[in-house]
Amino acid sequence: MTDAFIYDAARTPRGKGRADGSLHEVTSLALSARLLNAVKQRNNLEGHAVEDLIWGNVTQVKEQGGCLARSVVLASDLDESIPGLSINRFCASGMEAVNLAANQIRGGAGSGYLAGGVEMMGRVGMGSDGAAIAVDPGLAMKSYFVPQGISADIIATEYGFTREDADALAAESQRRASRAWEEGRFDRSIVPVLDQNGLTILDRDEYMRPGTKAEDLARLKPSFKDMGETMPGFDRVAMLKYPHLDHIEHIHHAGNSSGIVDGAAAVLIGNEDFGKAWGLKPRARIRATAKVGTDPTIMLTGPVPVTEKILRDSGLSIGDIDLFEVNEAFSAVVLRFMQAFQISPDRVNVNGGAIAMGHPLGATGAIIIGTLLDELERQDKTLGLATLCIASGMGAATIIERV
């Protein structure tokens, strides 16, 4: 089988996903195209260099609808001969784009790909594309649908994580993210967002709150308590699924859950010949990819079984992995991952995560692959595993190996 290598990984800084966020003035299309142009330029690629653009995006309506990937190709400096594929696996869309590209290459379908994703959460609201699972009574009841925040609280209840555990993890994410920025650990990946005149719009993750202490977070009100306990009473639905639970502990809030932000990320993937053709040095091999479907109600436990699967498939053990990126969708997701595999927090999300910097849904999967690679290089380690929990009960993972 042909090896698939990562030649470059880049991302935009993440803007607050609100009307006053710095990227709010930028379209999804422009953000994507400018990032890809930067990747093309810094790798000295020609417009026809890659086989396809696989672009992850969750809320595929309005400016993100209509096969955004094709529009991005046409808006960018890439040739029109490159087609463009928009994909949606919710929060793992960016990772799935990378994995799909890698597996195309491994299977011999093309030598180079651009993959990644974008989400402008402040411009195209999360959930504004509708969702049968939430709203179709037949499926909502069959799948015991509850919103993700309730799912995260179920994880906390089921696996015994307290509000203090969750807040401590969140404060640590802030500390690590802020240290990483201070020490320039993201320098290689970050592509500042420029306007059409070359003027800088944003060059730094703006969602972060450096200096946040667990005590500050302790003051925040749980976000999902009302909808769980009162209207419309999702806890009762959860208890139908998990009848051994007496109640749900509502521990998550805005400060220990991922932030709503705008952002994009891209990964340049190719086989060995691709690197030779364009004079590029491979940074890492994509060693393995995996995805699973899991219980849709507790929903966010996917990282555990998908990690078990990817390890099984690749013949590796958890101890072989040097560093982990586990998307900080909610504190409990990461806590559960560390608990299940008995991993030291030192090896997980070394430079903070989505709680501190935000989670632009369609881009995050590609972002954390880049972050993982940067940190493996910084620490001079070999194997890294990135994984995300996914809405409706799925999980995705990628193992990369430095070369």
- Would you please indicate which residues are annotated as catalytic (active-site) residues? 91, 359, 389
Which residue, 140 or 338, has its beta carbon nearer to other proteins?
140
| Interior/surface letters 39-72, b for 16+ CB within 10 angstroms, e for the rest | bbeebebeeebbbbbbbbbbbbeebbeeebbbbb
Q: Is the Cβ of residue 162 or residue 379 nearer to other proteins in the bound state? A: 162
Burial status of residue 272 (CB atoms within 10 A of its CB: 0-12, 13-18, 19 or more) = middle
Which amino acid, one-letter code, is at 131?
Answer: A
- Measured between alpha carbons, how far is 403 from 389 in angstroms, rounded to an integer? 28
Smallest distance from the beta carbon of 374 to other proteins, in angstroms? 39
Distance of alpha carbon 197 from alpha carbon 402, whole angstroms: 37
Q: What's 13's DSSP letter?
A: P
Rounded Cα gap, residues 80 and 242, in angstroms: 52
**Between 139 and 318, CB nearer to other proteins:** 139
346 binds other proteins (CB under 8 A): no
Q: Residues 64 to 103: which contact other proteins by CB under 8 A?
A: none
- CA-nearest of 174, 157, 175 to 254 is 174
Reference 375, options 171, 174, 184; nearest CA is 184
- Tokens 């990772």 belong to residue: 95
User: If DSSP codes are grouped into helix, strand and coil, which group holds residue 267?
Assistant: strand
State which residue, 245 or 340, has the beta carbon closest to other proteins: 245
Contact 330, 148 (CB under 8 A): yes
- Site string (145-174) toward other proteins, x via CB under 8 A: xx----------------------------
Helices and strands of the chain, counted as H and E runs: 15, 12
User: Could you give the string, one character per residue 108-147, with x where binding to other proteins holds by CB under 8 A and - elsewhere?
Assistant: -------------------xx-x---xxxxx-xx--xxx-
Q: Give the shortest CB-331-to-other proteins separation in angstroms.
A: 24
Q: Does the footprint of other proteins cover residue 48 (CB under 8 A)?
A: no
- CB 128, min distance to other proteins, A: 8
Q: Is 289 helix (H, G, I), strand (E, B) or coil?
A: strand
Size of the site for other proteins (CB under 8 A): 27
Dist. CA 74–CA 113, nearest whole Å: 16
User: In terms of CB distance, is 146 or 310 closer to other proteins?
Assistant: 146
- List the one residue from 240, 273, 276, 293 that touches other proteins (CB under 8 A): 240
Closest CA to 352 of 149, 147, 150, 180: 180
Q: Which span (165-173, 210-218, 229-237, 306-314) binds other proteins, by CB under 8 A?
A: 229-237
Shortest reach from residue 136's CB to other proteins, in Å: 6
- Quick check: 312 binds other proteins (CB under 8 A)? no
CB of 17 to other proteins, least distance (A): 17
Binding segment toward other proteins, per CB under 8 A, in 5-13, 69-77, 207-215, 240-248 = 240-248
Q: How far is the CB of 244 from other proteins (least distance, A)?
A: 5
What are the DSSP calls for 91-131, one per residue? BTHHHHHHHHHHHHHHTTS-SEEEEEEEEETTTS-TTTT--
What minimum distance in Å lies between the beta carbon of 148 and other proteins? Answer: 13
Told to check if 231 binds other proteins by CB under 8 A, we report yes
- How many whole angstroms separate alpha carbon 217 and alpha carbon 103? 42
Nearer to other proteins, 75 or 245 (CB): 245
| The token pair that represents 218 in the structure block | 């302790």
Q: Looking at beta carbons only, is 240 or 403 nearer to other proteins? A: 240
- Strand bridging mode 261-270 / 112-120: antiparallel
Question: Minimal distance in Å, beta carbon 144 to other proteins?
Answer: 7
Residues 189-228, mask of contacts with other proteins (x by CB under 8 A): ----------------------------------------
Among 108, 192, 233, 293, binds other proteins (CB under 8 A): 233
- Binding-site ranges for other proteins (CB under 8 A): 127-128, 130, 134-138, 140-141, 144-146, 231-237, 239-240, 243-247
